[in-house]
Chains A and B, each alone.
Chain A
Amino acid sequence: MAYGPHTPEDRASMLAAIGVASVDDLFADIPPSLRASRLELPEPESEVELSDRLRALADRNRVDLVSFLGAGAYRHFVPAVVDQLLLRGEFYTAYTPYQPEISQGTLQTIYEYQSLLAELTGLDVVSASHYDGATATAEGALMACRATRRQRILISRGVHPHYRQTVCTYFGGASLEADEIPLVADGPAAGTTDLAALERMLADSDRPVAGVVVANPSFLGLLEPMAEIGSVAHAAGALFVSVVEPVSLAVLASPGEYGADIAAGEGQSLGIPLAFGGPYLGILACREALVRQIPGRLIGMTSDVDGRRAFVMTLRAREQDIRREKASSNICTNQALCALAAAIYLASIGPHGLRDVAALGAARAAELERALAEAGAPRLHPGPYLNEFAVRVPNAGEVHRRLLDRGVLAGLPLARIEPADPMLADALLVCATEVTKPTEIALFGRALGDEIERGRQLSLEGLGGGRPTGSTGRSAGEAAR
């Protein structure tokens, strides 16, 4: 066995101590009728073979393209110190700090995480932690139902589709209702949450609303009128649940400032690798008044019997191992190491660094907007955005595919994630961050311009919609230079 320490002599002496002849005797409690068929798996591999296999699999992925893809997971610079410290075995091979006397390291780092996120969100209580932005949003919505004893939430269509689908799954289980608030179709507020529709939905007195869930920036990258939405929600006795992106909170108004009761969000952008979707970090925060409704671990500062400062898991009566079927959630294992990564990231780049990340992303995004508009792909919506926006591109799915051959990952064709929404049929969602280079923007603009022009020529010739006939011959490596 690859990692076992026992020699044949060790095993023999253990069997002798137990008083059995073979290890099979220890499994005598498994009745013959329940014994497994032969386990069939690929042969074991030495570390040499295994490392070759893993490297070959990793190399089958293509991560060399110039990427403008965000849509809920973002490329950011991660200072080297973050991963170096995460590799401390004392952090990553420990478990939940059930024994506080020998877990002060984990406990203090989580307390610091809570404090850092409290500063970012402007809310005093931060739980540590949830699985990802989607489940944190679902838990935030469930919290609103518990706190108000109402059964229905309203969630904006501007919230990430995966988050809405997750809320729907969680709410179906709990027999609660989740209705979607439409987006404004046109005009200056196009693409943002429809306030008039929200007011109408809140006015239905037979179906009182527990919480209103809106994302800022929205899935489409737009800034929502959060203060107004919060007032409208509160006037109807509903809680206001804000879905946030933590880097943006360096510069955008915080949930605490605009009156949100609960904030949920994805913490991946705080020093956590993309890793095809996880492990990420579910952020969930709330006002102090809701502290006994929030699910997930909470670490408090206290003192020990000698009066020295110490940290401990607290308000445990909310949790499943104490309250069982009456717990606020079934969550147990969470994303603690990812919370640690976020804390180290924030501490290493500091307040000015985080602001620079957000502002530089915004600056690059404005350059990107200009380059794509020149290429013939104007923005889909007129309202303000931070670093992500949608552009209109005829035949977006096909163009996106052809750009891959030119070494450009041209964001997300929105029809791929929202196939039923006609407003998003010919659109790409693109983003820029502090790692986006001006040369990459220029390359994307040029390549997109070529493809749009090509599509125009084809449609003039009546040949539109054809499949690509092959690569343009330029490799990704060339393209990136």
Chain B
Amino acid sequence: MSGAGDRLGPTLFEMSRPGRGGGKIPHPPKDSLARIPADRLRAQGPRLPEVSEPELARHYVRLSQLNYSVDTGFYPLGSCTMKYNPKIDEWAARLPGFAALHPLAPDELAQGTLQLLWELEQALAEIGGMKAVTLQPAAGAQGELTGILMVRAYHHSRGDFERTEVLVPDSAHGTNPATASMAGFSTVTIPSAPDGGVDIAAFTAALGPRTAAVMITNPSTLGLFESGLRELLEAVHAVGALAYMDGANLNAIMGRFKPGEAGFDVMHFNVHKTFATPHGGGGPGAGPVGVGEKLMPFLPSPRVLRESDGKFRLERPGERPHSIGRMRAFAGNTGVLVRAYAYIRAHGAQGLREVSDDAVLAANYLKTRLAGILDVPFERHCMHEFVASAATLKSETGIRTLDVAKRLIDYGFHPPTIYFPLTVEEALLIEPTETEALETLDAFVEALRSIVAEAHDDPELLHSAPHETPVRRLDETTAARQPNLRWRAMTGSQTPCPD
């Protein structure tokens, strides 16, 4: 292993020197721990680094500068909706009244947050055309698990224990089949139709008395609206199964399509996509779940309730006997939900509809402009994202999607999602979102045009890309074969002195 690169700088552990830092916490009395039996105490203190605050600040600022982010540039990562995160939402979540509220504070001390959560539930139910919403799930994947566990509870409540299968199209996010497994179902993967959409005939043929649910992403992971939905949902309900909508792509359809009205029984929302809560380098998000009438009794507890006197409260333990129970501790990722609420209030109905309109407009504009540059396999209008492919480029030049993506980094762009959906060869899933200016979209098109030219003229330039980054392509094989997952003990001058 080499030492720190020129631009990465040392780890916290390499920076540590005994005696640095401190001064944040008053010293406790010497005998504070004397009442605790010695065998319950730690033999050796944790070897944490000792770093002064100025060094600490520089360390993290320097590391932050090695990141690409929405605040630094265009991030067309398909399926992830990397839109601008409004700053007022960050301010709001940090208001002491929200941030310092204990999750087990009595209801009378928590009326502001409870009201906000209740109003957010109402707004999401309206946007999704659903009867009720739980805000408890911590992320989209946990929302999926919540939804599928409710499906299971619903069938069991009817004495129906024969339904062991969940049907998922092959273009689905990996979380769908992984969720079905976690909820005790087996996954039946249905191949897509030639146009990339759900194959209604194949789905219908696979439906039966063993089907618990189908999970559909609409718009699909190819960015296409599933226009045969009505037929599909009728077939699903005709065999007694339920329909789950993965709401990952809701950013395309607000105000134009309400999943509950169309017949979906349950859906999740990704607030860190559609409602602009920041992605945080991999979270936190929140994954509220909306349900129709049939699944309401099974919603996780606790729900937020409004009493007849206008006061709000959380459900008490055991208050709703058919609930699937708790998905996590406490009420939910409230700090994230405050941001989502602020976003929805800033927009209103008309604003959210414009969000979707502009997201779809930007995606179709990019798709049109890229049509002569990369393969754009599906000729219909797309929704908020579309799949391009480097298959032709690969056959002509040997340049793969991965190389195009890495070269885009040199041009100052975050690459799109690559090799997903799995159903498209050499896929690039491109989602511009509604918050990118026309100049940015045009610059992205020109970058791809140059890269395709380079692929023909100087392919080595792409094979070895990126060139301008703090590090270049990584040795992922060694990382997996001989995992180094932690800094091994600080040595010599770095070790903290005993207390």
Give chain B residues whose Cβ lies under 8 Å from the Cβ of A373: none
Q: Is B35 within 8 A of A384, CB to CB?
A: yes
> Can you list 26 residue pairs at the A/B interface with Cβ under 8 Å?
A1-B354, A23-B357, A34-B230, A39-B353, A44-B348, A89-B72, A93-B82, A103-B67, A103-B68, A105-B65, A111-B487, A160-B329, A172-B325, A249-B42, A250-B45, A257-B42, A274-B100, A278-B328, A278-B335, A320-B177, A321-B174, A334-B284, A335-B138, A350-B496, A362-B36, A412-B104
Closest-by-CB residue of A relative to B112 is A60
Closest-by-CB residue of B relative to A63 is B100
Assuming the contacts A104-B470, A133-B329, asked whether A254 and B280 have C-beta atoms less than 8 A apart, the reply is no
Q: Is B43 within 8 A of A253, CB to CB?
A: yes
Bound CA span A163–B329, Å? 6
Chain A 308-336, CB-CB to B under 8 Å as 1, else 0, gives 11101011110111111111011111111
Q: How far is the CB of B51 from chain A (nearest CB, A)?
A: 5
Q: How far is the CB of B278 from chain A (nearest CB, A)?
A: 5
8 Å CB contact of B282 from A106, A277, A308: A106
Task: Determine whether A187 belongs to the interface, using a CB cutoff of 8 Å to chain B.
Answer: no
Q: Is B336 within 8 A of A278, CB to CB?
A: yes
Segment from A47-55, A195-203, A234-242, A456-464 that makes contact with B: A47-55
Assuming the contacts A3-B276, A277-B329, A336-B283, asked whether A101 and B409 have C-beta atoms less than 8 A apart, the reply is yes
Most chain A CB neighbours (cut-off 10 Å) among B22, B187, B336: B22
Q: Is A308 within 8 A of B471, CB to CB?
A: yes
Q: Is B140 within 8 A of A333, CB to CB?
A: yes
Bound CA span A125–B114, Å? 38
Q: Is B22 within 8 A of A352, CB to CB?
A: yes
B interface majority secondary structure: loop
Q: Is A95 within 8 A of B80, CB to CB?
A: yes
9 A-B pairs with the lowest CB-CB distances in the bound complex, closest first: A277-B330, A58-B97, A89-B71, A60-B112, A337-B280, A336-B282, A44-B348, A279-B284, A277-B103
Segment from B237-245, B253-261, B393-401, B448-456 that makes contact with A: B253-261
Give chain B residues whose Cβ lies under 8 Å from the Cβ of A475: none
Q: Is B42 within 8 A of A92, CB to CB?
A: no
Q: How far is the CB of B100 from chain A (nearest CB, A)?
A: 4
Task: Determine whether A453 belongs to the interface, using a CB cutoff of 8 Å to chain B.
Answer: no
Residues of B322-367 whose CB lies within 8 A of A: 324-336, 338, 342, 344-355, 357-358, 360-362, 364-365
Report the number of A-B residue pairs with Cβ-Cβ less than 8 Å.
Answer: 725
Q: How far is the CB of B217 from chain A (nearest CB, A)?
A: 14
Bound CA span A108–B25, Å? 27
Q: How far is the CB of B276 from chain A (nearest CB, A)?
A: 7
Task: Determine whether B111 belongs to the interface, using a CB cutoff of 8 Å to chain A.
Answer: yes
Give chain B residues whose Cβ lies under 8 Å from the Cβ of A337: 278, 280-284
Q: Is B92 within 8 A of A54, CB to CB?
A: yes
Bound CA span A308–B257, Å? 50
Bound CA span A43–B352, Å? 11
Assuming the contacts A36-B256, A93-B70, asked whether A67 and B282 have C-beta atoms less than 8 A apart, the reply is no
Give chain A residues whose Cβ lies under 8 Å from the Cβ of B499: 352, 355
Q: How far is the CB of A475 from chain B (nearest CB, A)?
A: 15
Give chain A residues whose Cβ lies under 8 Å from the Cβ of B380: 29
Assuming the contacts A41-B352, A419-B318, asked whether A352 and B496 have C-beta atoms less than 8 A apart, the reply is yes
Task: Determine whether B105 belongs to the interface, using a CB cutoff of 8 Å to chain A.
Answer: yes
Most chain B CB neighbours (cut-off 10 Å) among A19, A53, A63, A98: A63
Residues of B199-244 whose CB lies within 8 A of A: 224-225, 227, 229-230
Knowing that A30-B256, A278-B284 are A-B contacts, what are 18 other residue pairs whose CB atoms are under 8 Å apart, sorted by A's residue number?
A1-B355, A30-B257, A35-B257, A43-B348, A58-B98, A63-B97, A94-B69, A102-B469, A170-B182, A277-B333, A278-B335, A302-B479, A306-B472, A314-B485, A330-B145, A384-B36, A384-B40, A400-B106
Task: Determine whether A96 belongs to the interface, using a CB cutoff of 8 Å to chain B.
Answer: yes
Q: Is B328 within 8 A of A134, CB to CB?
A: yes
Q: How far is the CB of A279 from chain B (nearest CB, A)?
A: 3
Q: Is B327 within 8 A of A166, CB to CB?
A: yes
Closest-by-CB residue of B relative to A6 is B358
Q: How far is the CB of B355 from chain A (nearest CB, A)?
A: 6
Q: Is B279 within 8 A of A93, CB to CB?
A: yes
Segment from A150-158, A204-212, A338-346, A439-447 that makes contact with B: A338-346
Count of B interface residues, CB-CB < 8 Å? 214
Q: Is B71 within 8 A of A353, CB to CB?
A: no
Assuming the contacts A72-B329, A93-B71, A315-B480, asked whether A101 and B470 have C-beta atoms less than 8 A apart, the reply is yes
Q: How far is the CB of A258 from chain B (nearest CB, A)?
A: 9
8 Å CB contact of B474 from A60, A302, A333, A401: A302
Task: Determine whether B414 belongs to the interface, using a CB cutoff of 8 Å to chain A.
Answer: yes
Task: Determine whether A184 belongs to the interface, using a CB cutoff of 8 Å to chain B.
Answer: no
Residues of A1-46 whose CB lies within 8 A of B: 1-6, 10-11, 13-15, 17-20, 23, 25-31, 33-45
Give chain B residues whose Cβ lies under 8 Å from the Cβ of A324: 174, 177-178, 187
Assuming the contacts A27-B360, A93-B278, asked whether A83 and B94 have C-beta atoms less than 8 A apart, the reply is yes
Give chain B residues whose Cβ lies under 8 Å from the Cβ of A232: none
Task: Determine whether A289 belongs to the interface, using a CB cutoff of 8 Å to chain B.
Answer: no
Bound CA span A43–B123, Å? 12
Task: Determine whether A304 belongs to the interface, using a CB cutoff of 8 Å to chain B.
Answer: yes
Q: Is A300 within 8 A of B484, CB to CB?
A: yes
Assuming the contacts A34-B262, A94-B70, A350-B48, asked whether A58 and B95 have C-beta atoms less than 8 A apart, the reply is yes
Bound CA span A95–B85, Å? 12
Task: Determine whether A190 belongs to the interface, using a CB cutoff of 8 Å to chain B.
Answer: no
Residues of A58-107 whose CB lies within 8 A of B: 58-63, 65, 67, 69, 71-73, 75, 77, 79, 81, 83-85, 87-106
Bound CA span A76–B355, Å? 39
Q: Is A312 within 8 A of B45, CB to CB?
A: no
Task: Determine whether A360 belongs to the interface, using a CB cutoff of 8 Å to chain B.
Answer: yes
